[in-house]
Structure formats: structure tokens, C-alpha cells
Amino acid sequence: MESFEYTAHASRVIFGAGTLARLGDEVTRLGASRVLLLGDRAGRSLSALGSLTVAHFPDVAMHTPVEITEQALSRTDGVDCLVSVGGGSSTGLGKALAARTGLPQIAVPTTYAGSEMTPVLGETAYGKKTTRRDPALVPKTVVYDVELTLGLPVGLSVTSGLNAMAHAVEALYSPQANPAVDAFALDAVARISRALPVVSARPGDLEARADLLAGAWLASMCLGAVEMGVHHKLCHILGGSFGLPHAETHAVVLPHVMAYNASSPAMPRIAAAMGVADAPAAVFDLAARLGAPLSLASLGLAEADLAAAAELATAQPYPNPRPLSAAGVRSVLGEAWRGERPPGRPDIGWLTDEVVASFGGDPRLAQLLGDLVRRLHGFVADNDLTEDEWKGAIDFLSRTGQMCTPTRQEFVLLSDTLGISSAVDLLTNSRSPDTTPSAVLGPFYVEGPPSVPSGTDLAEGLPGAPLRVDVRIVDLSGQPVREAVVDVWQSNEDGFYDVQLPELEGPVLRARLRSDSDGRLWFRTIRPSEYPIPDDGPVGQMLRATGRHPYRAPHLHFMINAPGFRQLITQLFVAGGAYLDSDAVFGVKPDLIVEFTDSVEFTFRLGADHA
């Protein structure tokens, strides 16, 4: 059972284009009238606030140095509201002032940093960055105006977007992850990964900018709800202790931390959200394609600093899906310093697209083959299938085909034991809850069984517990169906069908009967028993290799045809019989389990054939 705790931090969010015009109203809504405006990109905000602005502090700085905060603090006299405009540095300064003064803050983000939706504040003092978490730090209102991001340089847009993606990635493997956070994070990853290339190619594309900003908002919701992992720890150390730029550092480090955590179940989900085969390599390739910095060396970090950074990152325990060690973190930092592409599976999407595009002709056939190819290629990629494994699969399928004869269908047996036959049966024949449930045909049906009258003994003296079977066939209104053709077949007491016993002459324990004017028929036979499906071939090898037994629950087979009615293929199972809960071909349905004594009665309900 899943257990979790989730705290939603209440901020009023206004999202859209041109929303900056509502900034003054939002200040008034908080009961404020004297604003300290923070940030160096405040021109349009000054106009929007008008006379509400009584002071302006433009000198924000990365990593929120306490000396800058002290300078800004001297400007808060007589102020009743803080408005921060810009990236994470402006929002961070607003939080630092709010923490010291208790003043309400309104955040107007112009990048994709995400700090505006979190109760987290990172401050730097004496070359060390520390982090605090307090719900009081969350801005009261966040105004997202997509138009404010149009002037953001492409390079900063890319690194800021990758910084936002890091929030979503680490949220997915956080100890506090929960369904809400997962949904936000996966949506954020999908939006950011698809929007960044468009923004890079067309910086003025408002829709792409909106998609990217919405993705950053979702990612910041994750950042505010859970603890981050080693990626954020490393970036805080590299920024606070070594002076590296914030967004660029996140962009460089992210794919290498993802590769370190590649065994996390979150990675395939991230890859699926991005539409790629390998998430760490895809994030690196995205950064490279969009011109983001790829190495810590290019950001100015000296190789001699790597050991110290790794030691700082592992000085205290930190949540991470893979255990952390100084050597492991040192390896991650080394790869990031050199800017090496994480080893990952090649992308085979182009090949899949080529194959699917080759199918023409009948539209339904092309659709089925195209979907099959996409799923098979996805299986190959998701499981990193080796050549030896694929050769083994080809050999298995070849031997399965070679095992087929006129009296044994190994491929049907394979379909049955993988549940495919039951799945197709459910989709095809179980759309009406009023008809008798269907069941799989099985590999031992033989066309044209001998026709016999009601009352015939199908056992013909074979050993076994005698059984009388009375059947009535009706339509959905309960009216009898006359002249219905009913094929029945079963195994003998030892679990063999007649086609498996070459010493027998002619069909045994199988026949064709017809219903009378009241829709009735009956026959004598022997009570069915559990039996193993043939397991001397490839299917049996597969069952043994996966720890499965080959037994079927005891049952009788029926195939019923009548003019104007849908064909019914089904089975009746012995109540209390063995393997009802682990039938080898997954054919048991509760409504088909019947009490068998020395006789059994059952009414089959047929649905109309609308074909």
C-alpha cells in the first residue's frame, strides 16, 4: 500500500500573457500600498505599479549573499509589500527580506528558475551556501507573464529551462514523491523538453514560451513539495563555495547525476515523458543541441577543486536513490568537469519511424503492423535487448513453429499461456454483461466432430466418475434457442485429449449435438479432472524457466452456434477443482465455475449477431 504526506503551499498564481498589468491590483488585494521593488529588470513593473512603488533595489546577486540582503534591508523602512521581478536571484532576495521583516512578497518571474513556488531559501555567507525551509517564505502571489520571458536571451532560456527540469527529475525519485508530485513532474519534463528546442529556434514564439513557463511552474511546485537529491546538493556547493553560475551549473551537472541514478525506476518514466530511449543521454544531447555549456571546466571550475567539492557533498547524509560515496560523487563531478556524454542506448526512433512509414495497402493492416512495430521496438529499447537474447527468441519461435502438427498447435499453446488468447477473447466476446462469458478455444478443438443425438454417452466406457450434463440454450430474453449446434470436447481421466492418444481409433469424448424445440440437450460423459497442457516443447520450457506449472483447472469445452446469434466458445469449470486460481492459460472466469456432482445443469445465454 502506498503511503505519503503532501503539503501544498498556498500561493495565488496568475498565469498568461499581459498579466503584469494586474500587478498593482494584486498589491492592493494584499492590503498594501507601499512597495519595495527588487530586481534589475523592473522597468515595466515600475509602470504597472505606478505610485505604489516607494523604493527600488536593483542590485540582486546570485546565491543571495547576506551582505546584499543587509544592504536591501536598509530600504525596507515604511514599506508594507515586497515585489521581486526577475530570476531566482530576485526571488531569493525577496524571501531573505521577508524572512527578516515578515513583509508579504509578490514574485514576478522572468526566467524559469522556480524559486517563486517554494518555501526554500538558499543564502551564501563566507563562501558557504546554507538552505532553510519555512512556509512563511512562499510568496503570497506569483504573477507569470509570458511576455516578460520574450526578451530572455536564448542561452539563458536554455540553461534556466534545464534548471527547471532538474527540479522535476529529482522530485520523481525523492523519498517524499507522491501521485500529485509525480504528475506535476512528468508533465513538467514533457513540456520543458518539447518547448526548449522551439524557443531556441524561435525565441519569439509565445506558445512555446508559455509551454516552457508552465513546465517551469509545475517543476517549481515539485521543488516546493519534496526534498531534492544529490544534484541540487552539488549545484549548491559548486555555486556557493566555488562561485559557479547557478543555471549553467544545473544544466551541466543534471545528465551526469541522472546517469549516476540510472537504476532508479524514475528514469524510464522520464524517458517516456521525453519520448526517448535513454533519459540521461537525451538530456545531455538536448543541452548540446541547444548550445548550453557542457562542462564544469568551461564554467571556470579547476580540476583541483573536484575532490573538495565531492567531500563537501558527502559530508552529511542526503536523500538519493543510489547510495552516495565520495568516490561516486567524485566520478560524477569528473565526468561533468570533462563534459563527457553519459553512456546511453542509441535512439532507434528514426528506425521505427522508417519501418512504420513503409506500410501501405490495407489501412487496418498498416495500422496493426505499425502499432506492433512501435511496441516491439519499444520493448527492444526499453530492455536494452542483446543480440544473443534476440537470437534466443528467434530460436524459441522457430522451435515453436516446428512443433506444430495437424493435431498439436504449439503457437496456440504459447498464445494461451501468455494470456493473449484470453485477452483477445475478452475484447471480442465479452462486451455484453448479459451473455454467458466466453473462454479460450484451446489447442485441441477439431473441426467436424461426430454428430450424436441427446442422451449419447460420450465416454464410451472410458474409466472415470460418471457425469450427466443437462444444457439449455436461451436468448437474452430467456426464450429457447432451437436447433443450436453444440460442439463439446474434453480430456480423459488422465488428462489427455483423444488427439494426443494415437492408439485410439476415432474421436472420443467429443461430439456435436443439437438443441430441441425447448433449447435443451443432454449427454453422458465422465467428470473432468485437472490436467497438464503439453509441456514437452518450447512452451513447457518457458513455463519451467519462469517457475510456472502447466496445469489447467478441470473443465468441459463448449462451442455453440445458432442462426442469428453470436458464436459462443466457453468452458465450464468444476467448483472446488484444482488450479482454479492459477490456470495455466488464464481461462477461468467466476461465472463459469459450476457445482459438479454426478450431474450438472447449465443455461447458456446467447447474444444476437449484429454483423
Phi, psi of 518, rounded to the nearest 5 degrees: -95, 10
How many angstroms separate the CA atoms of 538 and 561, rounded?
Answer: 34
Name the residue among 604, 577, 589 with its Cα closest to residue 470.
Answer: 604
- For 10-79, strand residue ranges (E) read 12-16, 35-38, 53-57
DSSP string, 493-554: TTS--GGG-TTS-S--SEEEEE--TTSEEEEEEE----EEPP-SSHHHHHHHHTT---EEPP
How many angstroms separate the CA atoms of 584 and 268, rounded?
Answer: 31
How many angstroms separate the CA atoms of 216 and 202, rounded?
Answer: 19
How many angstroms separate the CA atoms of 138 and 425, rounded?
Answer: 55
Output the nine-digit C-alpha cell for 134: 519555512
| Residue 555 annotated to the active site | yes
How many angstroms separate the CA atoms of 443 and 204, rounded?
Answer: 63
Q: Name the active-site residue from 497, 527, 551, 605.
A: 497
| Residue 531 annotated to the active site | yes
Q: Name the active-site residue from 236, 250, 557, 605.
A: 557
83, β-bridge pairs: 37, 106
Identify the H or E element spanning 205. Answer: none
The span from the first CA to the last CA of the chain, in angstroms, equals 45
Identify the burial level of 137 via C-beta atoms within 10 angstroms of its C-beta, where 0-12 means exposed, 13-18 middle and 19 or more buried.
buried
Q: Name the active-site residue from 56, 250, 472, 555.
A: 555
Do the strands 141-145 and 105-109 form a parallel or antiparallel pair, or are they unpaired? Answer: parallel
Residue 449 burial (CB count, 10 A): 18
Quick one: the chain helix, strand, coil %, rounded to 5? 45, 15, 40
84, β-bridge pairs: 38, 107
| Residue 63 annotated to the active site | no
608, β-bridge pairs: 565
| Residue 497 annotated to the active site | yes
Q: Name the active-site residue from 144, 531, 551, 579.
A: 531
Q: Name the active-site residue from 246, 552, 566, 605.
A: 552
| Residue 112 annotated to the active site | no
Phi, psi of 439, rounded to the nearest 5 degrees: -150, 170
- Dihedral angle sign, alpha carbons of residues 192, 193, 194, 196: positive
How many angstroms separate the CA atoms of 73 and 550, rounded?
Answer: 77
How many angstroms separate the CA atoms of 56 and 40, rounded?
Answer: 9
Q: Write out the catalytic residue numbers.
A: 497, 531, 552, 555, 557
